[in-house]
């Protein structure tokens, strides 16, 4: 069928034509935004889920909703090798400049900018004056101790004060939170603690892989009280059907029941895969109906496309030793497996592969669903590993 009219949208963070099955998250996110704006105590939210389930799409949706509610928003994406202060600096600066335009908030926003300057100096973050554009001095003792867990809460509180004075709530969206250092994560939690105590209109909405649960560390008891961690997963059957069917119907196209059932079965109702299969099925089909045979024909191109993009970008970031570890995990089949069993597959002691396992957790490839267990963070990655490295044990020249 005409690929130009193809409504499906496989891709990282690409808004789906039908955002199926997430109404409860959106409604509770919006309620939380409205409560925060009204200065009422509210739990911040951190969306937790595997790769490709739609976390970024939801953050973007809540960002749009926040803007509609007159929020000033900032969206940052954590990544390996970038510190939180570096990531935050441009967004916080822009928030403070916006707030400083409001007459009533000018002084407080200026103080926020001083706090930001001290915060960056204290942590020795070098951002050039030109890039940063703050021709303002820091205030001695304001957020400049060099300890992020002490300074960030002070800085965020000054921003919250400015937001309150301006009558303009602030929402900070943080994607890929699993890449934050434990002290950075903890600093964010403590900031929210401070904000809640002072009832300031500032809200944090985050997202990340399941390993973020372990990151809370020292601030665990706070985090359980201050945050909700809604789980984002595969869609339910009816929701997955809607995700496929609705966009087609809007284009005057129908999916045969068996075609849909086939897609649900292959994709296990994971959003990214649903988009990919529906997209390829549309492209191979003739006429205005998509049949089971079309879906079967589309599977080859769908798998090729995923292998070349969704799976491969992740595989490419891993060392040969890490790939070997993941291949052994794949060999054990679906789901979670005991770390001891993985080591046994590799013919080594658990302790000798512990560093490899840890670095894979840091890279966001695997996580520990429960103590001593290991599972992939990417759905269907076990099958991909077997396609990428068909032989196990891995032949020496493949390593």
Ligand X SMILES: Nc1ncnc2c1ncn2[C@@H]1O[C@H](COP(=O)(O)OP(=O)(O)OP(=O)(O)O)[C@@H](O)[C@H]1O
Interaction site with Mg ion (CB under 5 A): 55-56
Q: Least distance in Å: CB of 213 to ligand X?
A: 15
CA–CA separation, 294 vs 246, rounded Å? 18
**Which stretch, 5-13, 63-71, 123-131, 389-397, contacts ligand X (CB under 6 A)?**
5-13
Least distance in angstroms from the C-beta of 317 to Mg ion: 15
- Cβ proximity to ligand X: between 17 and 118 the closer is 17
- Taking CB atoms, the residue at the shortest distance from Mg ion is 56
202 or 279: CB nearest ligand X: 279
Taking the least distance from each CB to ligand X, the nearer of 118 and 210 is: 210
Closest approach, Cβ 64 to ligand X, in A, equals: 14
- The correct pick among 13, 167, 335, 355 for binding ligand X (CB under 6 A) is 13
Kindly state whether residue 335 participates in binding ligand X, applying the rule CB under 6 A. no
Q: How far is CA 348 from CA 321, 352, 395, in A?
A: 13, 7, 17
Closer CB to ligand X, 53 or 78, in the complex: 53
With CB under 6 A, what is the number of residues at the site for ligand X?
25
Q: CB under 5 to 8 A by kind: which of Mg ion, ligand X, none does 112 bind?
A: none
Residues 45-74 binding ligand X (CB under 6 A) are 49, 51-57
User: What's the CA gap between 384 and 390, in Å, rounded?
Assistant: 9
Residue 379 lies near ligand X (rule: CB under 6 A): no
Question: Which residue sits closest to ligand X, CB atoms considered?
Answer: 54
Q: Out of 271, 315, 376, 379, which residue is the one contacting ligand X (CB under 6 A)?
A: 271
Tell me: does residue 311 bind ligand X (CB under 6 A): no
- Between 49 and 206, whose beta carbon lies closer to ligand X? 49
User: Could you say whether residue 14 binds ligand X (CB under 6 A)?
Assistant: yes
d(CA 274, CA 59): 20
Q: Which residues contact 205 (CB under 8 A, 6 or more apart)?
A: 29, 32, 44, 45, 46, 47, 59, 62, 171, 172, 173, 174
Selection from ligand X, Mg ion, none that 51 binds (CB < 5 to 8 A by kind) is ligand X
Looking at 6, 22, 192, 279, which residue binds ligand X (CB under 6 A)? 22
Residue 93 binding partner per list Mg ion, ligand X, none, with a CB distance cut-off of 5 to 8 Å that depends on partner kind: none
Task: Work out which of 1, 16, 71, 360 binds ligand X, going by CB under 6 A.
Answer: 16
Residues between 212 and 251 that touch ligand X (CB under 6 A): 243
Q: Considering the rule CB under 6 A, would residue 275 count as an interface residue with ligand X?
A: yes
Q: Counting contacts by CB under 6 A, is residue 21 touching ligand X? A: yes
Q: Which parts of this chain interact with ligand X (CB under 6 A)? A: 9-16, 19-22, 49, 51-57, 243, 271-272, 274-275
């Amino acid at each position: 069928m005409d690929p130009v009219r193809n409504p499906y949208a496989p891709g990282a963070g690409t808004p789906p034509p039908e955002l199926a099955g997430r109404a409860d998250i959106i409604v509770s996110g919006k309620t939380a935004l409205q409560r925060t704006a009204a200065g009422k105590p509210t739990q911040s939210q951190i969306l937790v889920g595997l790769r490709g389930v739609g976390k970024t799409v939801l953050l973007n949706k809540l960002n749009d909703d926040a803007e509609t509610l007159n929020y000033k928003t900032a969206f940052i994406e954590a990544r390996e090798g970038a510190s939180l202060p570096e990531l935050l600096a441009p967004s916080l600066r822009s928030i403070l400049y916006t707030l400083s335009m409001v007459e009533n908030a000018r002084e407080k926003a200026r103080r926020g900018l001083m706090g930001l300057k001290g915060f960056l100096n204290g942590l020795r973050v070098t951002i050039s004056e030109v890039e940063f554009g703050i021709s303002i001095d820091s205030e001695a003792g304001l957020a400049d101790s060099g300890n992020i867990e002490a300074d960030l809460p002070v800085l965020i509180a000054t921003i919250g004060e400015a937001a309150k004075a301006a009558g303009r709530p602030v929402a900070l969206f943080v994607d890929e939170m699993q890449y934050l250092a434990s002290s950075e994560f903890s600093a964010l939690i403590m900031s929210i603690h401070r904000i809640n105590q002072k009832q300031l209109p500032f809200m944090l909405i985050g997202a990340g892989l399941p390993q973020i649960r372990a990151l809370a560390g020292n601030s665990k008891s706070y985090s359980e009280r201050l945050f909700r961690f809604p789980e984002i997963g595969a869609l339910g059957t009816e929701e997955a059907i809607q995700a496929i069917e609705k966009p087609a119907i809007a284009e005057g196209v129908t999916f045969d029941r068996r075609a849909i059932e086939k897609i649900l079965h292959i994709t296990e109702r994971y959003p990214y895969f649903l988009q990919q299969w529906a997209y390829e099925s549309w492209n191979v089909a003739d006429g205005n109906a998509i049949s089971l045979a079309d879906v079967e024909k589309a599977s080859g191109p769908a798998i090729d496309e995923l292998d070349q993009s969704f799976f491969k970008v992740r595989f490419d970031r891993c060392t040969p030793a890490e790939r070997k570890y993941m291949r052994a995990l794949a060999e054990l089949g679906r789901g979670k497996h005991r770390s001891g069993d993985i080591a046994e597959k590799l013919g080594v002691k658990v302790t000798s592969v512990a560093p490899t396992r840890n670095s894979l957790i840091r890279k966001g490839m695997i996580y520990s669903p429960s103590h001593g267990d290991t599972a992939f963070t990417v759905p269907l990655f076990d099958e991909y590993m077997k396609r990428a490295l068909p032989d196990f044990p891995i032949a020496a020249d493949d390593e």
